[in-house]
Amino acid sequence: MHNQIINTQPFNDQKPGTSGLRKKVKVFQQAHYLENFVQSIFDTLHEQETVPADATLTVGGDGRYHNRQAIQTIIQMAAANGFARVIVGQAGILSTPAASHIIRKYKTFGGLVLSASHNQGGVNGDFGIKYNISNGGPAPEKITDSIFEKSRVIAGYKIANLPEIDVDRLGETVFDDGKFTVKVIDAVLDYADLMESLFDFSVIKKLLASGFKMQFDGMHAVTGPYAQEIFVNRLGTSAASLMNCVPSEDFAGGHPDPNLTYAEDLVKIMFAGDKALDFGAASDGDGDRNMILGKNFFVTPSDSLAVLAANATLVPAYKNGIAGVARSMPTSGAVDRVAAKLNIPCYETPTGWKFFGNLMDAGKVTLCGEESFGTSSNHVREKDGLWAVLFWLNIIAVKNISVEAILMAHWAEFGRNVYSRHDYEAIPTEAANGVIAHIKSQFNSLPNQVFGSYKVKTCDDFSYHDPIDGSISNNQGIRILFDDGSRIVFRLSGTGTEGATLRIYLEAFDPDVKNHHLDAQVALAEMIKIALQISQLVERTGRVAPTVIT
């Protein structure tokens, strides 16, 4: 094994976003692009921590186009940058929650997760990379900020001249008398074991054998093999309960985002009137998101988090109760109401899973969630799609009522936080910035203004003060808070790769059971108008309708 230093020049666009660095595949294919970023990560680690001589790095991705090639490069660079061992998922594949679990279970120093999550794949699609720390969670801003700084001045990277590793074959390859080892593992079994340790598989098995009909949509992405092992091999469902469960490098040309727009095959099955099945679920490109559907019924992710929190003690892993909950700022306050009733703390963090890690490590929270179809617990430090699906199945199996009935009972008890998110994708960056600037320019005049039946109480740009490490994150989204607790939030996405994506988050509280059957778009119609009025979105972007409504 011979290490080399290759001269390079900085790229100026390697700033990690909400969840690592995401760019078009073509950007990543530029000479030295990936290498520069990976070296900036390794340099940051060596600067901020002591990397022990026997340090192991976990590496794996969602299997999208460019994954295999990137993995070979990363292995060679890890060898030259002081790692003694690399653990790789078979075929280079690890779902994001499985990667988090592997880092924790095998106590590796950290991990590189190759994914652009729900973004489209293929040669014209997106690629991404992020670093996770030893707790299994995404690196905090202290690390990501430093990676960016280093990427702006990098002059060279270190790489070893290793032969190509056969990542399809399980087992270990040893170099230089054990100075460097690559181990290829089957992470599916590790992950399935973890799930089996958390949930009551026997009660779920009984439910699935009782005529209860479910459908899981892998969206041609990473969760297929995990779903096969868990639902078919361990829980005994028929193979027909799984769809799109063979991973493909371009997600079969689809958009692996589990929502009502992109998971259309599943939505058709679940909204087929009398013919609809009892339970439907989907997961995204890298397996950390989930969508939950009942018979002709959609569960918003914010409500899903609240229901899981309210029913946690029905699940073996949480039978003694949960310590606290956390949600990202734009996520609805439904879980806050559950926390208040359970008398446990509820934390409000900025968008992105990296903000939950400290709270979990400190034992402050057990369950976390985001409105963007992400929920999880302290079993890993990432959101976890299949975990959420199993949690729901466990609750349904114990309660023995439908998804819709669970929600109706929940809303009757806690009231309903009617919620929706409207995304305007790929709008010109200048126009998007103009919308945000225009809203901010009204910060002084908005309070006390009346819009139809709503009166503005306050507005601000959300800041988060991390109670564990004291760090402060500013400019995390504009909030317009109304007198009655309703909210409109405006945010620019930090994961897109084309122009800007503007997200509008709408929330209104309704305690009245009579209205609980209403479609969210109908119930929120007035707020939607107000959001467009305050933002001048149509005038400034020329867009007359959102790209995606969730």
- Dihedrals phi, psi of 500, to nearest 5 degrees: -125, 150
Q: Which residue is nearest to Zn ion (CB)?
A: 117
Question: Does residue 284 bind Zn ion (CB under 5 A)?
Answer: yes
How many residues at the interface with ligand G1P, by CB under 6 A? 14
Q: Report what 370 binds from ligand G1P, Zn ion, none; CB cut-off 5-8 Å by kind.
A: ligand G1P
Rounded-to-5 percentages of helix, strand, coil across the chain: 35, 25, 40
In 170-229, which ranges are E strands? 171-175, 180-185, 214-217
Q: Report what 286 binds from ligand G1P, Zn ion, none; CB cut-off 5-8 Å by kind.
A: Zn ion
Q: Tell the smallest beta-carbon distance from residue 331 to ligand G1P (Å).
A: 8
Question: Does residue 423 bind Zn ion (CB under 5 A)?
Answer: no
Q: Where are the alpha helices (DSSP H) in 85-181?
A: 96-105, 141-151
Question: Does residue 370 bind ligand G1P (CB under 6 A)?
Answer: yes
Question: Does residue 117 bind ligand G1P (CB under 6 A)?
Answer: yes
Q: Tell the smallest beta-carbon distance from residue 272 to ligand G1P (Å).
A: 29
Burial class of residue 473 (count of CB atoms within 10 Å of its CB; 0-12, 13-18, 19+): middle
Nearest CA to 501 out of 492, 510, 513 is that of 492
Active site residue 117: yes
Nearest CA to 250 out of 126, 167, 73, 69 is that of 126
Q: Which of 95, 117, 486, 493 is catalytic?
A: 117
> Which residues within the stretch 10-29 sit at the binding site for ligand G1P (CB under 6 A)?
18-19
Say if strands 450-451 and 454-461 run parallel, antiparallel, or are unpaired.
Answer: antiparallel
What single-letter amino acid sits at 230?
I
Question: Does residue 505 bind ligand G1P (CB under 6 A)?
Answer: no
> Which residues within the stretch 81-100 sit at the binding site for ligand G1P (CB under 6 A)?
none
Question: Does residue 499 bind ligand G1P (CB under 6 A)?
Answer: no
Question: Does residue 120 bind Zn ion (CB under 5 A)?
Answer: no
Give the binding range for ligand G1P (CB under 6 A) out of 3-11, 294-302, 350-358, 410-418: 350-358
Whether the CB-CB separation of 449 and 415 falls below 8 Å is answered with no
Residue 76 or 117: the one with the smaller Cβ distance to ligand G1P is 117
Cross-strand pairs, 505: 421, 489
Nearest CA to 328 out of 439, 432, 476 is that of 476
Nearest CA to 420 out of 258, 536, 298 is that of 298
Q: Distance of alpha carbon 45 from its chain centroid, rounded?
A: 24
Q: Report what 352 binds from ligand G1P, Zn ion, none; CB cut-off 5-8 Å by kind.
A: ligand G1P
Residue 223 or 237: the one with the smaller Cβ distance to Zn ion is 223
Give the binding range for ligand G1P (CB under 6 A) out of 146-154, 235-243, 369-377, 458-466: 369-377
Say if strands 110-114 and 56-61 run parallel, antiparallel, or are unpaired.
Answer: parallel
d(CA 319, CA 303): 21
Question: Does residue 370 bind Zn ion (CB under 5 A)?
Answer: no
Q: Which residues are catalytic?
A: 117
Enumerate binding residues for ligand G1P (CB under 6 A). 18-19, 117, 328, 351-353, 370, 372, 374, 493-495, 503
